[in-house]
Amino acid sequence: GIIRHMALLVMVLGTWFTLQMYFDRRWKAVSLRSWLGEQLPPNKCRIQKSCPQNHFAFKIISGAANVVGPSICFNGMILMSSVKNNVGRGLNIALVNGTSGQLLKADTFDMYSGDVNQLDTFLQEIKHGTIVLTASYDDAATKMNDKVRAHFVELGSSHVNKLGFRDNWVFLGAKGLKNKSPFEELIKNNEKTNKYDGWPELLDMEGCAPRKMD
């Protein structure tokens, strides 16, 4: 009986010692990384929470008045921004493969004095399974017509039919989407509530878009 109790005591002490060494090493490793200034990598596109498996992180920021251009980030990659010099007045649109997450095309369309037929053609040619990310800048609606609005409705938009002069709009939809997209925000141009003189405040939308699996 004494031998059995001694063996149990040795086993308990051994387990305690092993756990203490493990957590001590973990603590030292964390402390060393902090001392060296090493930090854990941020969530993709610097969104507030990490995305579950088979989802893509994204962040879409509209333009601020006619001064600061919009930004579109998808799956950790900046697709469109002023720094990349590929944004402009109107609608800024990035097309992404819904399965792989790879950028297919990015373009900007002047909705104040441009040719809306170019946008119409661009939207017609989007293939099934493509994710569409859109950010407004300055004015996104002057040249907008019913045909173009219908394309965005088909992509899952609920607000495009209300889009007006100098409204701010951010949207993520997809070709072949069966329901309305949950990723859309619109803020109206209103001289009583505008943050900037003649323009509303910018919109900043982030989330996790599901990967197309079939």
DSSP 142: T
In this prediction, residues 127-153 reach a mean pLDDT of 97
For the record, the structure tokens of 29 come out as: 């490793």
Angle at 150 between CA 147 and CA 155, to 5 degrees: 135
Q: Which two tokens stand for residue 11?
A: 């086993």
**3-class DSSP state for residue 5?**
helix
Write the pLDDT tens digit of every residue in 7-26: 555 565 555 444 444 444 44
Whole-model pTM?
0.80
Q: What are the φ and ψ backbone dihedral angles of 74, each rounded to 5 degrees? A: -145, 125
Give me the phi and psi of 18, to 5 degrees please.
Answer: -65, -45
Query: DSSP 3-state assignment of 117?
Result: helix
Yes or no: say if 197 and 208 are a contact pair by the CB < 8 Å rule: no
Say how far apart CA 74 and CA 139 lie, in whole Å: 24
What distance in Å separates the CA atoms of residue 70 and residue 135, rounded to the nearest whole number?
6
Q: Are 200 and 189 in contact (CB under 8 A)?
A: yes
Mean pLDDT of 117-124: 98
What residues have CB less than 8 Å from 76, skipping those under 6 apart? 44, 45, 57
For the purposes of burial, counting CB atoms within 10 Å of the CB of 179, is it exposed (0-12), middle (13-18) or buried (19 or more)? exposed
**Beta strands at 71-74 and 90-97: parallel, antiparallel or unpaired:** unpaired
Does pLDDT of 198 surpass 50? yes
User: Contact, 90 vs 114, CB < 8 A?
Assistant: yes
Sequence ranges of the domains in the chain? 2-34, 55-210
**pLDDT of amino acid 181:** 97
- Please give the Cα distance from 62 to 71 (Å, whole number): 7
Residue identified by tokens 């490793």 is 29
pLDDT in tens, 47-75: 999 999 999 999 999 999 889 999 999 99
pLDDT tens digit sequence for 26-53: 444 434 344 444 444 568 999 999 999 9
Per-residue model confidence (pLDDT) at position 167 = 97
Cα 61 to Cα 72: distance, rounded to the nearest angstrom:
6
Do the Cβ atoms of 44 and 76 come closer than 8 Å?
yes
